A = this chain, B = another copy of it.
Amino acid sequence: MKNTKKKILKSKGYTIGSAEDFLGLSKEESEYIELKLALSGVLAEQRKRKNLTQSQLAKLLKSSQSRVAKMESGDPTVSLDLLIKSLFAIGATKKSIAKAFH
């Protein structure tokens, strides 16, 4: 199975290898999940570009390492609000965030 697909299923709470598939996801759901994963990716990128560990970023965000990890993996308990606020906080430009939509 493709890696992106695995991530998407995981982020919906599905277990990889289960019988569940995209069939159960509406277009809106897929779009929403894809968006979250795209933003996750941007966050991880920006963090690494700045040579920060998850712990360092967590401190910057007044959050915790574990939550940063969840943010970067598209965990279902992470909201768009948290992702986007974090991106703004790390200094991502609106432009770079907007790209996640394309």
Find A102's partner among B32, B85, B94 (CB 8 Å cutoff). Answer: B94
Interface size class for chain A? 10 to 19
**Partner-binding segment picked from A14-22, A51-59, A67-75, A76-84:** A76-84
Instruction: Count the copies.
Output: 2
Question: In the assembled complex, which residues on chain B have CB atoms less than 8 Å from the CB atom of A84?
Answer: 32, 35, 80
Distance to closest chain B CB from A79 (angstroms): 5
Distance to closest chain B CB from A8 (angstroms): 15
Q: Would B88 and A31 count as touching, CB distance under 8 A?
A: yes
Bound together, the chains give a CA A97 to CA B84 distance in angstroms of 14
Question: In the assembled complex, which residues on chain B have CB atoms less than 8 Å from the CB atom of A80?
Answer: 79-81, 84
Distance to closest chain B CB from A42 (angstroms): 12
Q: Would B94 and A32 count as touching, CB distance under 8 A?
A: no
User: Can you identify 5 A-B contacts, CB atoms within 8 angstroms?
Assistant: A32-B84, A94-B102, A98-B99, A98-B102, A101-B101
